[in-house]
Amino acid sequence: MRKQELERMTLEQLERQYPFVLSFFESRGIPSEQNALKSLVQIFDEVAKHQEDGVHDSQVMFTELAEYVEQMLLFLGESKMDISSITILPGHDKDGHPETFERLHMERGEVVAIVGPTGSGKSRLLADIEWAANRDTPTGRIVMLDGAIRQEDHRFSLRNKLVAQLSQNMNFVMDVDVEEFIRLHAQSRMIKEDAALIERIVAAANHLSGEPFMQGSPITSLSGGQSRALMIADTAILSASPIVLIDEIENAGIDRKRALELLVGEEKIVLMATHDPSLALMADRRILIRNGGIVRVQQTRKEEKSILKELEKIDHLVSKLRTQLRQGESLSM
């Protein structure tokens, strides 16, 4: 979009062509209604006169607007991240020894656990995936998307962020209610935030946590389990990233099996850094990391899956007791 082209337009004309520009004006404190019929030159000159910080030099504003329109067109034009698989080719560990796996291929809907001591290189592996490494990170790994090496400029695209992260340490910090929270998230992704979407996310979250919450609940007042449930449901349904990284989810107040089912059902590739046996056994495979390198990729065996059944019984018992406790009953097995 050329600057000269913009200079001749009124705000109304511009809006008709690019409806999204209104947020550009709003974020700069320019009300659209009063200014609809004015030319952009006129609007920017007026704003420049009133601004305190001197940032809004009218020429600069034109450049920014042109840039914004271009970025947004790019953003809207980019197809949604529809990659269906990632493939990791081995690099080397911290001492330069080659990694001993052949290639690691993960498809949408798959759950893979990552295990290894603290500092063994789990974050590095995730960073390699996020960056779509091409022998240009400290591990020398290659990460291919749909079997191909990613174009470099995609690395900075907000829409094409590969990895969404969920961890035990995350909290809500915004001072909004659940409904407003989901709206803001949808708006940031240029998705129409209708009532059905909000209901769907809240229902999914309430399905995960034992204690239901309402759309009008302030997000900062949610309990640990409710917060976790909302984060997972929102990430599963509303986040564009095809890969979800889970960094250890505690067993408290949330049904982790259902959480994984939700993510898998939304066609995510799920990676879980965990040392919790019941979580690790829910995965189809686990990656063992040591000294910065992947040592082995191990299929979850049948015998191991039967351990999971036992663990599930224990988990079930604990959660039953928790419910009794919460409801003020005396505890019984």
Partner 1 sequence: MNLITVSGPPSCGKTSVILKAIEAFQQKGLHVGVVKFDCLYTDDDLLYQKAGIPVKSGLSGSLCPDHYFVSNIEEVVQWGRSQGLDLLITESAGLCNRCSPYLRQIHSICVIDNLSGINTPKKIGPMLKSADMVVITKGDIVSQAEREVFSSKVQMANPKAIILHVNGLTGQGAYELSTLLYREEENIETVQGMELRYPMPSALCSYCLGEKRVGEEFQLGNVRKINLEEQTACANKN
Site residues, partner 1 (CB under 8 A): 23-24, 27, 53-55, 64, 67-68, 70-71, 123, 126-127, 130-131, 136-138, 155-156, 158, 161, 164-167, 169-174, 181-182, 184-185, 187-189, 227, 231, 234-235, 238-239
Q: Give 186 or 308: the residue with its C-beta nearer to partner 1.
A: 186
Q: Give 100 or 151: the residue with its C-beta nearer to partner 1.
A: 151
CA dihedral angle for residue 291, residue 296, residue 298, residue 304, rounded to 10 degrees: -50
Q: Give 170 or 214: the residue with its C-beta nearer to partner 1.
A: 170
Q: Give 17 or 63: the residue with its C-beta nearer to partner 1.
A: 63
Q: Give 278 or 291: the residue with its C-beta nearer to partner 1.
A: 291
User: Minimum distance from CB of 281 to partner 1 (Å)?
Assistant: 25
User: Minimum distance from CB of 52 to partner 1 (Å)?
Assistant: 8
| C-alpha triplet 276, 281, 282: angle, nearest 5° | 105
User: Minimum distance from CB of 25 to partner 1 (Å)?
Assistant: 11
CA-to-CA separations, 34 to 13, 25, 49, 61, in angstroms, rounded = 14, 12, 17, 19
User: Minimum distance from CB of 173 to partner 1 (Å)?
Assistant: 5
Report the C-alpha gap between 145 and 132 in whole angstroms.
8
Full DSSP string of 212-276: ---TTSBGGGS-HHHHHHHHHHHHHHH---SEEEEE---STTB-HHHHHHHHHHTT-EEEEE---
User: Minimum distance from CB of 168 to partner 1 (Å)?
Assistant: 10
User: Minimum distance from CB of 36 to partner 1 (Å)?
Assistant: 16
Q: What is the DSSP letter of 141?
A: -
Q: Give 215 or 319: the residue with its C-beta nearer to partner 1.
A: 215
Sheet with strand 285-290: strands edge to edge: 163-167, 243-247, 269-273, 111-115, 285-290, 293-299
